[in-house]
Structure 1
Amino acid sequence: MAPPYIFRPMIAADLPLIRRWLALPHVREWWGDPAEQYSLVSGDLDEPAMDQFIVSVPGRPFGYIQCYDLTAWNTGIGQQPPGTRGIDQFIGEPDMIGCGHGSAFIRSFVDDRFKIGAPRVVTDPDPTNHRAIRASENAGFIRDRLADTTEGEALLMVRNP
């Protein structure tokens, strides 16, 4: 059974941790230039269409997840039901990778979104990011189609309640 996951809203005091995680090779591989991503993530702290969370198990933060309103970042995703949310995430702590946390915390987070009324949640990993695709599938997402986004080709994956 998966441990309980805590999704604490990210605050400015979390930015040094985010900066450290973004610089790690396993995060940088898929998120890209750490300075550019840090600028985007930190700049979204005040973005009303973006919710950002630090993911923890009791006593230990280990990851990041952002959840956004598609009306703000809908490039390439196409028409979705009103209220659909998009997510992006990563595990920052290297020793937490490969332990099943990715799919478990994604499932837990998305289940929470459904409880508060989201009709659908989408994610769009790089089509060559097999670990992210597998984690998303294990969290209940299904492959929809390849999509052209502002950041290149992505695999649109969807999960309905």
Structure 2
Amino acid sequence: MSIHRHDAPGATPAGVVAELVDRLRELGEVLWSAQSDDTLVEVVEGLQSLASAAAVVEAGALVEAEARDLARERLHFGSTGDWVTHMAGLRKGEGKRRLARAKALSGPLGRTREALLAGALSPGQADLVVDAVEALPGGEWTRWRGRN
């Protein structure tokens, strides 16, 4: 991970995300029937890569929000998982699962994080990796082998 300097005014991480959301909302008005086959394929594939990259960004922000205990201290939720579940309109327990993925990607599963960021894995596939590593026997060597 790295720290990036943003030169443009308003080019904070939150500003970048807001700009992406606005640009994607504009695409909600596209007449898809007027688009070429190649464009449709490129858009669908690109959105999958976007979802993978967004999961990595979310992971970093969630881990830091958890470390600062923002959900409890500032937002008055019972936990970070509860906050994510509520904010994103997820099923019960889904926020907790996303937080577990975030912690794993920010910690022992760095290679999985890299693959997710590169678009080689989907968030769902990353969840399978996290679950598989968690299910390994407790020995440190065994866990190391499972991660590598």
Instruction: Provide the TM-score with structure 2 as the length reference.
Output: 0.30
TM-score of the superposed pair, with normalisation by structure 1: 0.29
In terms of fraction of residues, the more strand-rich structure is 1
Which protein has the bigger helix share?
2
